[in-house]
Copies of this chain bind each other. A is one copy, B any other.
Amino acid sequence: MVRIALDAMGGDFAPSVPVLGALEALNDLPESCELILVGREEAIEAALAKHEVVHRNRFRIVDAPETIEMNEKPLAAVRGKRTSSIRIGLELQKNGQADAFVSAGNTGATMAASTLLLGLYPGIKRPAIATVFPTATRPVLVLDVGANIGCGQRELHGFAHLGAVFSRVVLGKDDPAIGLLNIGEEEEKGGQDVREAFETLTEDPGLRFIGNVEGNQILSGECDVIVCDGFVGNVVLKFAESVARMCLKVLERELSGYSSDQAVLSRLKEVLDHAETGGAPLLGVRGVSVVCHGRSSASAVKNAINVAVQSVERRLTEFVGKELARGVA
């Protein structure tokens, strides 16, 4: 039995989008998966009432009277709102009543609450947010994308191991190729932190480090995992989302005169739309916690639930613990 707690109040369109995402996820998930919708019971029931619910026996509702809003200061909100959906959802995991938590709500608050309630592995100071970018050939995991600013070689080295485990265990890459995001391929490129990380990564026999990669190589399919400081990772992630949206807009405009437009657009949307690959795990926490964008669609929420299910089924937490005990100095 895999039990996923879902923040039903998280995201710009809560509770309707998370609730729909949950219902869609249940259509495809095996019977052994149970969902726990965490949030204001009344609001969840109202959202459910809009759909024909065929899997009523496969989810339950846990009431959480408070909601942490998107613009609240994470730490203060987590400390102040003890009956918020984020806290209660993660407490279920802490108390052994759930195996994973998924939220499209305030990412900072989910990070803070995950750290507080689940704890971190030794040597990890903050969880890393890992996100999957689609490429023409294979998905690439990029971390960190916003949780850690000003990373030294120690953090970057940690990201490489966290990313490698996730790539192996959840994404199914046997021997993931790791790249270090930099502004040139030569080892002397970049600031001191990145140069030191290059050295550490090169010397680590437990990683298949393929060297520095530049911005144009993120989507080239050369790497399975790319590690970077959270500042640059966050900028690139948000930039990528905006470019995808801009391309779609241009295409919709340009193609509107052609009868073939729908087929082309839907194919391109599939390639570009982050929703297809949404669901960013917080790596380094002693448990499974997956965040998604506040603007997530139901299919993005569904995808994040799938990431959580696979992380639990494939025992990500156990493997992360082993990797960190073995790998990082």
Contact = CB atoms under 8 A, between A and B. Distances in A.
Contacts of A249: 136
A299 to B, nearest CB: 20
Is chain A's binding surface mostly helix, strand, loop or mixed?
Answer: helix
Interface in A141-194: 146, 149-150, 181, 183, 190-192, 194
Given A216-B241, A243-B243, A254-B268, A235 B149 contact: no
A138 to B, nearest CB: 14
A214 B234 CA distance: 8
Interface string A205-230: 00000000011111110000000101
A149 B240 CA distance: 22
A232 interface: yes
A264 interface: yes
Contacts of A183: 146, 149, 230-231, 234-235
A264 B250 CA distance: 10
A243 B240 contact: yes
Contacts of A240: 215, 239, 243
A56 to B, nearest CB: 38
Given A149-B183, A258-B264, A268-B250, A216 B232 contact: no
Nearest to A194: B231
Contacts of A146: 183
A251 interface: yes
**Interface size band for A:** 35 or more
Contacts of A234: 183, 214-215
Interface in A109-154: 136, 146, 149-150
A226 to B, nearest CB: 10
A247 B231 CA distance: 25
Given A219-B243, A249-B136, A238 B214 contact: yes
A255 interface: yes
A183 B241 CA distance: 14
A272 B248 CA distance: 12
A116 to B, nearest CB: 21
A237 B260 CA distance: 32
A218 B241 CA distance: 11
A235 B214 contact: yes
Interface string A266-296: 0110011000000000000000000000000
Contacts of A272: 247
Contacts of A216: 238-239, 241-242
Contacts of A219: 239, 242-243, 246
Contact of A268 (B231, B251, B260): B251
A215 B239 contact: yes
A260 B254 CA distance: 11
A191 B150 CA distance: 7
22 contacts: A149-B190, A150-B191, A150-B192, A181-B235, A183-B234, A194-B231, A214-B238, A216-B241, A216-B242, A217-B242, A218-B239, A218-B242, A219-B243, A219-B246, A235-B236, A240-B243, A247-B247, A250-B268, A251-B268, A254-B264, A254-B267, A258-B264
